[in-house]
Structure 1
Amino acid sequence: MQTPMALENVDSCENWLPRRVMSVWRIAGIVHGLEGWQEHECGYTISNVDKVWEACMKHGFQPLRVPTQSKS
């Protein structure tokens, strides 16, 4: 996901990601802290996907837009 412009000192969290892009795993940790959530998901179990998605959007994280090639 793309990080909000207000988030400072961000390059990328992994070497293969473009600038200002973070893995959802890391964003989840940030959003948990921002929201003050106490529950902890483990592995691929997420208690409420809609709640997490809405919180990500609320804090300015956006889905990564990947350009597609059109067939001519």
Structure 2
Amino acid sequence: MQTPMALENVDSCENWLPRRVMSVWRIAGILHALEGWEEHECGYTMCNIDKVWEACLKHGFQPLRVPIQSKS
């Protein structure tokens, strides 16, 4: 996912990702802290994908847009 522009000094988490892109598992850790969630990954909040998705968007993370290549 793309990181919010408010995050500073962000390159990428892994060397194969484009600039300002993070793996979802890293974003999950950030959301966990930002939202103050105290339950583990198997808790109710983590199973509620809509709640997690809304928190992700609320904090400025966006899905990565990948161009589709047409077959010619």
Q: Same fold (TM over 0.5)?
A: yes
Residue type matched to 1:69 in 2? Q
State the TM-score, normalized to the length of structure 1. Answer: 0.89
Q: Could you tell me which residue of structure 1 aligns to residue 65 of structure 2?
A: 65
Structure 1's unaligned 5+ residue stretches are none
Q: Distance between the aligned counterparts of 1:47 and 1:30, measured in 2?
A: 17
What is the root-mean-square deviation of aligned Cα atoms in Å? 1.1
Match of 1:47 in 2: 47
Q: Secondary structure at the match of 1:56?
A: helix
In 2: Cα distance, 1:54 partner to 1:22 partner: 17
Give the structure-2-normalised TM-score: 0.89
Structure 1 CA distance for aligned equivalents of residues 49 and 39 of structure 2: 13
Say whether residues 1:29 and 2:68 are aligned partners. Answer: no
Residue by residue, what CA displacement relative to the aligned partner does 1:5-53 show, whole Å, maximum 9, x if unpaired? 00111000001000000000000000110000001105xxx42111100
Residue in structure 1 matched with residue 4 of structure 2 by the alignment: 4
Query: Quick check: which one's helix share is greater?
Result: 2
One-letter amino acid of the counterpart of residue 15, structure 2: N
Aligned-partner Cα distance in 2 for 1:24–1:36: 18
